[in-house]
């Protein structure tokens, strides 16, 4: 989650979805401190369902698809709709707000320096306060 380290903000509703998935404190730690995490950590936080070897991915996906296709399709479809509907407006709003803020941040001197530093494999020369 390199957003803040690049002097920008989260995007694609991650400021809304990540706290729901992992809790506010963990999401704040991940988003603000630029901490990397492993695939196993992603599973333990609920961000992923499994860690697979590359050659097992297709078989795993096919097995899940086969299992889903054997279920009553209208029930699967409606369950999906019900799970998504409470958050649809909130996610859409977050995406718009994040995109507007991201555009502003990308044009900032702070972000430009952070990207230059990243490309040159050095730390940015500008800092800031939280």
Dist CA 9 CA 7 (whole Å): 7
Q: Please tell me the pTM assigned to this model.
A: 0.69
In this prediction, residue 129 carries a pLDDT of 45
**Which domains are seen in the chain, by residue range?**
4-119 (3.90.226.10)
Q: pLDDT tens across 92-122, in order? A: 999 999 999 999 999 999 999 999 999 999 9
- Report the percent of the chain where pLDDT is more than 90: 79
Query: Bigger pLDDT: 87 or 95?
Result: 95
CB atoms under 10 Å from CB of 27, counted, come to 21
Residue 116: HSE in the Cβ half-sphere, 13 Å Cα cutoff: 9
């Amino acid at each position: 989650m390199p957003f803040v380290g690049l002097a920008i903000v989260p995007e694609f509703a991650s400021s809304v979805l990540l706290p729901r998935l992992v809790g506010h404190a963990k999401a704040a730690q991940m988003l603000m401190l630029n901490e990397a995490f492993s695939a196993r950590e992603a599973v333990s936080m609920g961000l992923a369902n499994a860690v697979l070897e590359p050659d097992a991915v297709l078989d795993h996906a096919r097995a899940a698809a086969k299992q889903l296709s054997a279920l009553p399709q209208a029930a699967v479809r409606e369950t999906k709709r019900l799970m998504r509907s409470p958050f649809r407006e909130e996610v859409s709003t977050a995406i718009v707000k994040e995109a507007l803020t991201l555009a502003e941040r990308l044009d900032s001197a702070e972000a430009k320096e952070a990207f230059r530093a990243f490309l040159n494999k050095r730390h940015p020369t500008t800092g800031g306060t939280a």
